[in-house]
């Protein structure tokens, strides 16, 4: 059974940093691209970032480019999102999602989400 | 960026109704269009991928169609568990983008 478990969310002050983790089980982690998708309170879904299975290729939404860094450790079956220079508008539930592929693919499994709150 | 527009923004329907939701892309995305269902407090769930392929385990009352810029999600006979928010998403190019969502409510 595929499972994705996020952790690392919490309350952080504007300008601060946070690192999210997502542990994947039940599938060959290194074979699949992975993404982070967020949802601000009461709002819709926003794709944040994606990474190829090998980790060689990364992609970002303009809203986070230069502030967030996606990475993965395939030996630990874990995906990361390093978030720096956080702003109030980054407040959201962050989901990790398994991609069949980045281009032409889809998010077939999602984690339960972790809440990030940016506030003073 | 490719903009995804869903219409209507919300709708009210009764159990047993046939419901059709529309998604329009700002440029052609071939058939790289996916549909998700989200219930309150839960993660989204994949329903349809590649515009018309039913994800394993999803009831056959859900179907998708379209290509290019215009797509539809149809629920042939609405069930109580189908009241939720539905999102379309394009995977033609990055940034990957979602529609704004359509909330299907009980009439």
Per residue in A52-109, pLDDT (tens digit) is: 999 999 999 999 999 999 999 999 999 999 999 999 999 999 999 999 888 889 999 9
Residues A68, B28: Cα–Cα separation, whole Å:
30
Partner B contacted by A79 (CB < 8 A): no
* Closest residue of chain A to B32, computed from CA coordinates: A104
Residues A36, A48: Cα–Cα separation, whole Å:
5
B2: CB partners within 8 A, 6+ apart: B25, B26, B27, B29, B90, B92, B93, B97
Least CB-CB distance to A102: which of B34, B38, B94? B94
A54: CB partners within 8 A, 6+ apart: A30, A74
Confidence check: pLDDT of B68 > 90? yes
- Residue of B36, B95, B98 best to disrupt the A interface, most CBs of A under 10 A: B95
Quick one: pLDDT band at residue B84, thresholds 50, 70, 90?
A: very high
Q: Quote the pLDDT of residue A80.
A: 98
Residue A23 and residue A5 in contact, taking contact as beta carbons nearer than 8 Å: yes
How are beta strands B10-13 and B62-67 bridged, if at all? unpaired
Q: Which residues of A touch B64 (CB under 8 A)?
A: none
Q: Quote the pLDDT of residue B97.
A: 98
Quick one: pLDDT band at residue B9, thresholds 50, 70, 90?
A: confident
Residues A96, A34: Cα–Cα separation, whole Å:
7
Q: Exposure string (b/e) for A69-103, b if CB count within 10 Å is 16 or more? A: bbebeeeebbbbbebeebeeebbbbbbbbbbbebe
Q: Which residues of A touch B97 (CB under 8 A)?
A: 47
Segment B45-57 mean pLDDT? 97
């Amino acid at each position: 059974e595929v499972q994705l478990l996020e952790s690392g969310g919490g309350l952080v002050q504007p300008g601060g940093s946070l690192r999210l983790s997502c542990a994947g089980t039940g599938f060959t982690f290194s074979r699949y691209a992975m993404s982070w998708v967020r949802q601000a309170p009461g709002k819709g879904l926003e794709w944040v970032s994606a990474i190829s299975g090998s980790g060689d290729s990364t992609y970002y939404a303009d809203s986070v480019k230069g502030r967030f860094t996606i990475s993965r450790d395939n030996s630990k079956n874990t995906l990361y999102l390093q978030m720096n220079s956080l702003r109030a508008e980054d407040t959201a539930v962050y989901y990790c999602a398994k991609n069949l592929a980045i281009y032409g693919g889809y998010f077939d499994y999602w984690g339960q989400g972790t809440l990030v709150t940016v506030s003073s | 960026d490719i903009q995804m527009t869903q219409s209507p923004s919300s709708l009210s329907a009764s159990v047993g109704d046939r419901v059709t939701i529309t998604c329009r892309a700002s440029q052609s995305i071939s058939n790289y269009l996916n549909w998700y269902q989200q219930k309150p407090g839960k993660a989204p769930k994949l329903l349809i991928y590649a515009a018309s392929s039913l994800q394993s385990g999803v009831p056959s009352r859900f179907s998708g169609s379209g290509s290019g810029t215009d797509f539809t999600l149809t629920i042939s006979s609405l069930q109580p568990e189908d009241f939720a928010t539905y999102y379309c998403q394009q995977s033609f190019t990055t940034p990957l983008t979602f529609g704004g969502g359509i909330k299907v409510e009980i009439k």
